Amino acid sequence: MQYSKVILTGAAGFIGSHLAKRLLETGAEVVGLDNINDYYDVNLKYHRLSELEKYEGFTFIRCDISQKDELNRIFEEHRADVVVNLAAQAGVRYSIENPQVYIDSNVIGFFNILEACRNYPVKHLVYASSSSVYGNSDKIPFSVDDRVDNPISLYAATKKSNELMAYTYSHLFGIPATGLRFFTVYGPAGRPDMAYFSFTKKILAGEPIKLFNYGELERDFTYVDDIIEGIMRIIPTVPEEQNGARAKVYNIGNNKPVALKEFVAALEYAIGVKAKIEYLPMQPGDVYRTYADISELEKDFGFKPQTDIRTGLRRFAEWYKGYYK
């Protein structure tokens, strides 16, 4: 299956904009949807869109996936082969402060996407899940075969619900669906709410940065280009039927957890400035470690992320200094 016409939600987002660019470069037609919410600086979202609007095959529609009628109208007008759903309310900590937006976007919105795929059939639905579904599992690395019944944030619970809903719709209505559990994605034009982004801003301003659990957290930081390469390989490959459903879930992570203290050292090196650090105890909703078992991804697609943390952070720092001058 080739990439001919793709409906991509979350197109103004971090991963979405990178994926849209890559799809457009292959000659695909991309219909990008995004509600441009103000969870973080909308100027960055418009900047990403301005890069995509240089491509002839790109159409942008401002749309909130929680608005069912509008979504159905778009699906009816733009009959796509593939849907990639990356629209979601992200962030673990924000889900404690503002739970309603997670239900609206991640549960109702995803239900609307499934219904649209049912009413206007597509060859493949690819959607974002998250490594957060693993919670504080003691078993490492995290495998897609692990039970994930103990989410410790509402964000994680919504992502687990997406996997269950996708499986059900695949079983009942034959929608081929692949879920992707992303592990701490970073890189140029990233999300300002993520630690590496706010760390950079504060280090350059001479302000202290906060390291929770006294810097003893570990994350499987995954460079955005590696994530995009994984998605590009997955899109054309529909899951084989098992137990009456064509549904599968993959981890996409670097498979090499890095301690937060090491990560900060690599960031200091990339931007050429020493950080002032404030060490603090653990926060509610946080997990101690993320670590992706990517054996299924390697087996099915022969793919493994390659970008090391120093290379990835150097590229991010170059973009950051250019963008913020």
The answer to whether residues 209 and 89 belong to one domain is no
Pair (178, 260) in one structural domain = no
State how many domains the chain has.
2
Q: What is the CATH number of the domain that holds 279?
A: 3.90.25.10
State whether 95 and 110 are in the same domain: yes
CA 258 to chain centre: 19
Which of the following is catalytic: 155, 186, 196, 291? 155
Nearest Cα neighbor of 106 from 43, 153, 61, 142 is 153
Could you confirm whether 155 is annotated as catalytic?
yes
Whether the predicted model's global pTM rises above the 0.85 cut: yes
SS3 18: helix
For residue range 41-97, list pLDDT tens digits in order: 999 999 999 999 999 999 999 999 999 999 999 999 999 999 999 999 988 788 888
Flag whether pLDDT at 308 surpasses 70.
yes
275 DSSP 8-state letter: P
For residue 189, tell me if it sits in a domain: no
**Beta-strand relationship, 276-280 and 208-212:** parallel
pLDDT category at 104 given cuts 50, 70, 90 is very high
Residue 111 shares a structural domain with residue 139: yes
- Characterise 206 by phi-psi region: left (phi > 0), alpha (psi -120 to 50), beta (else): left
Residue 188 lies in a domain: no
Confidence at 1, pLDDT banded by 50, 70, 90: low
- Can you give the residue range of the structural domain that contains 172? 5-183+223-252
**Do 145 and 200 sit in the same domain of this protein?**
no
Q: Which residues pair with 251 in a beta bridge?
A: 181
Q: Domain check: are 238 and 291 in the same one?
A: no
Residue type, 207: E
Averaged pLDDT for residues 33-43: 96
Listed in sequence order, the DSSP H helices in 103-148 are 109-119
Q: Are residues 122 and 158 in the same domain?
A: yes
**Model confidence at 199: pLDDT above 60:** yes
User: Which neighbouring-strand residues pair with 125?
Assistant: 83, 177
**pLDDT tier for residue 227 given thresholds of 50, 70 and 90:** very high
Provide the 8-state DSSP code for 293: -
Find the DSSP H helices in the chain.
Answer: 14-25, 42-52, 68-77, 94-97, 99-102, 109-119, 154-173, 195-205, 224-234, 260-271, 295-301, 309-324
Which 8-state DSSP code applies to residue 63? -
Residues 144 and 37 in one domain: yes
Q: Quick one: residue 264, left, alpha or beta (phi over 0 = left, psi -120 to 50 = alpha)?
A: alpha
Give CA–CA dist 269/324, Å, rounded: 19
233, 252, 271: which is the final residue of a domain? 252
Q: Are residues 209 and 75 in the same domain?
A: no
